[in-house]
């Protein structure tokens, strides 16, 4: 899978690093990166040829992966590596994910089995991903709604017909369930149909921040959440400053709690935050935020056009400071943020791009960035979206005449450290660098 696609899944998992005070997100499966060997994992060798060992040379993350081999021939064998989960959030949602590399795989699966107190299987469709053939690291993830009767679960990687696989970064994340703990009373915005086809019913206020579920141009595919203003905030003299936050990972509405925290902890009272929700054109779509330079099958508008429509709708309904229209993106949404900012004419005056890739061949001419501001936020330890992407973006955009600042942090791919402090300082740089009126 391409680096940019790997960044898509990583953006979903990146929220796991946000301090618990800001997001109740947790990996329920310890030792999914095999840093403690095979501790917690059970090797089930039905064929007599199945082996599981730690590989310190081939790995997707950290220091090691699990190398699984089976030479079964002439029939089917349920060879598998299993982790028994005894701590679950019954009645809530989890996301199961992993990174896998394969060689000559014939019929391998990543699965989640969920059991009740009598050890009966509660979830019928247990497959997370199927693997065949030889391939470099691939990411897989799938959401599961756990029945209220769930008491335990098993994550299994199965080699039914032999082959060789490397397994790494296995996670069972409670992020979707955790996100709902932040939802205002009345539900998550947009879950129930309503409104007149343009704006859905408002979600109300939580901690003084109002959230509305809207559709740009009354187009159901152009859904965005509008966070703010804060309770008591008055319209600024020059108009509202706009932060368009395009979440990384899957780009779904479930990032709303984190986006609201960006407004609460990282931005001033002068801001409104628009959160576009990525639209999936086909079931096989890998690029979360497709652009003119990186299109996907069946798309009828680009992310550039989507963001343009959101900004114009906001400006039509209220006073907006056109010198302070910024994007914030990370991981999978970073390429789209570059594409938006580097057009000859763009409503965006500054871009905050975190932990993402930079591929100039798929972007408008870099010369269009002359005088425009970019704050790049990247960890030198990032093994998913390499730090060299940020260095390349800094050097090439600066050469083209853009205003660039590179911020670094420790911890690898994800929102680590003083997240909201860095966002606040980054937006202050964009504000200082904005065009003169």
209-234 pLDDT, tens digit each: 889 999 999 999 999 999 999 888 89
pLDDT at 107 over 70: yes
Indicate the pLDDT class of residue 123, thresholds 50, 70 and 90.
Answer: confident
Indicate the pLDDT class of residue 188, thresholds 50, 70 and 90.
Answer: very low
Residue 179 is predicted with a pLDDT of 35
Q: How far is CA 284 from the centre of its chain?
A: 17
Q: What is the pLDDT of residues 282-308, one digit of tens each?
A: 888 889 999 999 999 999 999 999 999
pLDDT at 19 over 70: no
Contact between 275 and 37 under an 8 Å Cβ cutoff? The reply is no
Residue 60 is predicted with a pLDDT of 85
**Of 59 and 306, which is predicted with more confidence?**
306
Pick the CATH number of 185-432 from 3.50.50.60, 2.30.30.760, 3.40.50.620, 3.40.50.1820: 3.40.50.1820
Contact between 330 and 353 under an 8 Å Cβ cutoff? The reply is yes
**Of 273 and 8, which is predicted with more confidence?**
273
Residue 75 is predicted with a pLDDT of 62
Q: Considering only 10-19, 30-39, 241-250, 362-371, which range has the smallest mean pLDDT? A: 10-19
pLDDT at 203 over 50: no
3-state secondary structure of 130: strand
Residue 184 is predicted with a pLDDT of 30
Residue 46 is predicted with a pLDDT of 85
pLDDT at 311 over 90: yes
3-state secondary structure of 325: strand
Q: Which H helix or E strand runs over 357?
A: none
pLDDT at 343 over 70: yes
Q: Cα separation of 370 and 382, whole Å?
A: 28
Percent of the chain, pLDDT > 90?
62
Residue 164 is predicted with a pLDDT of 95
Q: Average pLDDT, whole number, for the chain?
A: 85
Q: Domain 27-173: give its CATH code.
A: 2.60.120.260
Residue 217 is predicted with a pLDDT of 92
Indicate the pLDDT class of residue 175, thresholds 50, 70 and 90.
Answer: very low
- Separation in Å, CA 163 to CA 79, 352, 432: 11, 43, 57
- The residue behind tokens 């699984």 is 68
Q: Considering only 1-10, 203-212, 332-341, which range has the smallest mean pLDDT? A: 1-10
Torsion of CA 154, 155, 157, 160, to 10 degrees: 30
Residue 180 is predicted with a pLDDT of 33
Residue 170 is predicted with a pLDDT of 93
Torsion of CA 354, 356, 362, 363, to 10 degrees: 10
Domain ranges of the chain: 27-173, 185-432
**Of 333 and 283, which is predicted with more confidence?**
333
Percent of the chain, pLDDT > 70?
85
Residue 198 is predicted with a pLDDT of 29
Cis upstream peptide for 229 (omega within 30°): yes
Residue 5 is predicted with a pLDDT of 52
């Amino acid at each position: 899978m391409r680096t940019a696609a790997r960044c898509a899944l990583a953006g979903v998992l990146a929220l796991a690093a946000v301090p618990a005070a800001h997001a109740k997100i947790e990996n329920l499966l310890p030792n999914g990166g095999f840093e403690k060997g095979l501790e917690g994992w059970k090797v089930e060798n039905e064929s007599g040829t199945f082996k599981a060992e730690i590989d310190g040379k081939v790995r997707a993350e950290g220091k090691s992966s699990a190398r699984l081999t089976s030479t079964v021939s002439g029939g089917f064998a349920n060879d598998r590596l299993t982790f028994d989960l005894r701590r679950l959030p019954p009645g809530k949602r989890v996301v199961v994910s992993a990174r896998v590399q394969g060689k000559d795989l014939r019929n391998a699966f990543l699965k989640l089995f969920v059991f009740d107190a009598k050890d009966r299987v509660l979830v019928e469709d247990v497959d997370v991903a199927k693997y065949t053939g030889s391939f470099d690291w691939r990411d897989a993830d799938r959401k599961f709604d756990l029945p209220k009767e769930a008491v335990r679960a098993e994550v299994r990687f199965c080699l039914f017909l032999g082959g060789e696989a490397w397994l790494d970064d296995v996670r069972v994340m409670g992020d979707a369930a955790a996100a709902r703990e932040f939802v205002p009373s009345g539900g998550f915005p947009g879950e129930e149909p309503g409104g007149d086809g343009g704006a859905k019913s408002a979600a109300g206020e939580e901690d003084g921040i109002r959230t509305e579920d809207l559709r740009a141009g009354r187009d159901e595919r152009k859904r965005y959440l509008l966070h703010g203003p804060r309770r008591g905030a008055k319209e600024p003299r020059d108009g509202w400053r706009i932060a368009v936050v395009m979440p990384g990972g899957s780009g779904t509405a479930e990032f709303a709690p984190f986006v609201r925290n960006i407004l609460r902890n990282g931005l001033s009272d002068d801001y409104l935050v628009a959160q576009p929700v990525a639209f999936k054109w086909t079931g096989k779509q890998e690029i979360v935020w497709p652009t003119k330079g990186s299109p996907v099958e069946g798309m009828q508008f680009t992310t550039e056009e989507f963001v343009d429509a959101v900004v114009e709708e906001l400006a039509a309904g209220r006073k907006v400071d056109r010198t302070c229209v910024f994007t914030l993106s990370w991981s999978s949404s970073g390429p789209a943020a570059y594409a938006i900012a580097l057009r000859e004419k763009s409503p965006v005056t500054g871009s905050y791009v975190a932990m993402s890739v930079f591929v100039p061949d798929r972007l408008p001419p870099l010369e269009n960035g002359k005088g425009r501001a970019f704050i790049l936020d990247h960890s030198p330890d990032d093994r998913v979206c390499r730090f060299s992407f940020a260095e390349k973006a800094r050097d090439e955009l600066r050469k083209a005449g853009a205003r660039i600042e590179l911020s670094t942090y420790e911890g690898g791919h994800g929102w680590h450290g003083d997240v909201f402090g860095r966002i606040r300082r980054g937006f202050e740089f964009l504000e200082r660098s904005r065009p003169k009126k």
